[in-house]
Structure 1
């Protein structure tokens, strides 16, 4: 079944908390809980068949950045996307020049144009959804086929936060939870960087033993082996 899902970052706090060395070690129990809270379920569209399956890309992710904002942030977005394979061990990802070659489009826009672009590209009503940034994801039996993120580039906080959150959500963790204090998968958090905790979560999701389409039960059986292999369990 092919599912198209819109995911919102409803950002209500307008200040950035920068990355710091104060981030503590990843606690295994919290990482396990976060995996089930974000990977299963959908922030929107929870009735879809793939909601209760593992959702992720199974092959190479081909990013393309389209800068329609005119504020010169394409290079920053490209640098972030190119850094992902070095932080997510089993993620195969490249940045391509041509949009038609992409499986994941990242569209940078001005805030004033956001609603119109969302309506055209994602067939969604950003105003009705109270969206500040948005990613649409198309899946087939848990395998992500395409993602399109629309990100505001002329607001410092929205750009920093949404670049991280919407790109990571477009790779698979499509749910949010207010209990995840060290994660961008929490619309009440003030975080605007790729945290150590979210890096651990993405490494778990993209481990070869976690397969697209897995049920909660199947994932729960694999998770101890995966976390041990990644060094989160000793």
Structure 2
């Protein structure tokens, strides 16, 4: 699912203070008749009644705020139900597995080399966003040179708990990517070069102006792809380089806010890892998230090894398959020998 183009309250409580003055031993003044009727104040509400009233007001305010926060169109609500059913169905079929080293899918240097060539040196999409047939279009090796800084952008329908959970998960996954690649990868609050957008259906359709701000020079057709994303696409990622350079400078991933937890995590793993330079999917890659069969939900050891190969200093951005393959084969053999 990767595409790549080179074009680049506080409340203030006021307290009233009462002061009394003591008189000396003077004769008291004679009383002065007050023509106004004496009105004795009714007893005020008890402290308990006041506490209950405040609590009720707070509950009402919180309910209104929560309703506004999670407000979604009928289309977004229907999509949330659709993706819930999709996740349940996939899990019932034994898919969306979470095992990192599955015993039923051993790997060897030959299969690791084959999968790297298919995933890192081919593109799922060609120029103009058209899906490439025949396992993808041949492409040079691409990766990041600058440190990768993930920045998460939320729509207004994402509540505080959701935002906190996303930041924790993306931050942890960034550390895992950094360990696998040996490259600098982290989460930042601002100024990121890899934008992760978490949007509801309504928010996604109106994201154009903000997206153009976050990724200057992003092609209008890419914005259109995100705004019109097919319902069967849970998420997507676009990575960009400057001019024709094989080095990434910016990326943007889109994750639907309507996704249930496991599909959400699956999108974080796949799109952020693909945005590191593993741009293609392969039906032969196993055990891998870079396979459209959805057998595995989360990054596997096989996938970590692909990332480690991609950022090995013996490989250079721009290498063709003919140049890279013998080096990849040697690195794959070394990595698997180390794990024996």
Shorter-chain TM-score tier = 0.7 to 0.9
Distance 2:208 2:276 in 1: 19
Equivalent-residue separation in structure 1 for 2:149 and 2:279 (angstroms): 19
Instruction: Name the structure where strand makes up a greater proportion of residues.
Output: 1
User: CA 1:191–1:231 in structure 2 vs 1: closer, same or farther (change >3 Å)?
Assistant: closer
Counterpart Cα distance in 1 of 2:209 and 2:109: 40
Match of 1:168 in 2: 273
Q: Out of 199, 207, 213, which is 1:109 matched to?
A: 199
Larger Rg: 2
- Answer yes or no: is the 8 Å Cα contact 1:67–1:74 preserved in 2: no
TM-score, normalised with respect to structure 1: 0.82
Shift of 1:85: 1.4
2:102, 2:287 within 8 Å by CA — same for their partners in 1?
no
Q: Give the match's secondary structure for 2:287.
A: coil
Report the Cα distance in structure 2 between the residues aligned to 1:4 and 1:183, rounded to whole angstroms. 30
- The answer to whether the Cα contact below 8 Å between 1:119 and 1:125 also exists between their aligned partners in 2 is no
The equivalent of 1:125 in structure 2 is 225
Q: Is the 8 A contact 1:26 1:232 kept in 2?
A: no
- Tell me the C-alpha RMSD between the 2 structures: 3.0
After superposition, the C-alpha distances for 1:67-112 in whole angstroms (9 at most, x for unaligned) are 33333322222222233212x14222122221x2x12111222355
Q: Partners in 2 of 1:115 and 1:190 — Cα distance?
A: 30
Unaligned runs of at least 5 residues, structure 1: 6-10
Q: For the residues of structure 2 that align with 1:89 and 1:205, how far apart are their CA atoms?
A: 8
1:46 is displaced (CA, Å) by 5.7
Tell me if the contact between 2:181 and 2:310 (Cα under 8 Å) persists in the aligned partners.
no
Separation (CA, whole Å) in 2 of partners of 1:4 and 1:44:
15
State whether residues 134 and 150 of structure 1, in contact with CA within 8 Å, keep that contact through their aligned partners in structure 2: yes
Maintained 8 Å contact 1:4/1:136? no
Structure 1 pair 209/178, CA: closer, same or farther in 2 (3 Å)?
Answer: same
Q: Structure 1 residue aligned with 2:291, among 174, 182, 186? A: 186
Aligned to 1:53: 140
2:188 aligned residue = 96
Q: Pick closer, same or farther for the CA change 1:223–1:123 going to 2, 3 Å.
A: same
Mapping 1:1-234, distance limit 5 Å: 3=6, 14-15=90-91, 16-19=96-99, 22-23=102-103, 25-45=106-126, 52-68=139-155, 69-70=158-159, 71-72=162-163, 73-86=166-179, 88-98=180-190, 100=191, 102-111=192-201, 113-117=203-207, 121=211, 122-126=222-226, 127=228, 130-139=232-241, 140-155=244-259, 156-232=261-337
Quickly say closer, same or farther: Cα 1:213–1:204, change in 2 above 3 A: same
CA distance in 1, matches of 2:233, 2:268: 14
Aligned residue pair count: 224
- The whole-number CA distance in structure 2 between the counterparts of 1:84 and 1:171 is 9
Contact kept, 8 Å, 2:101 with 2:300, in 1: the verdict is no
- TM-score (normalizing by structure 2): 0.58
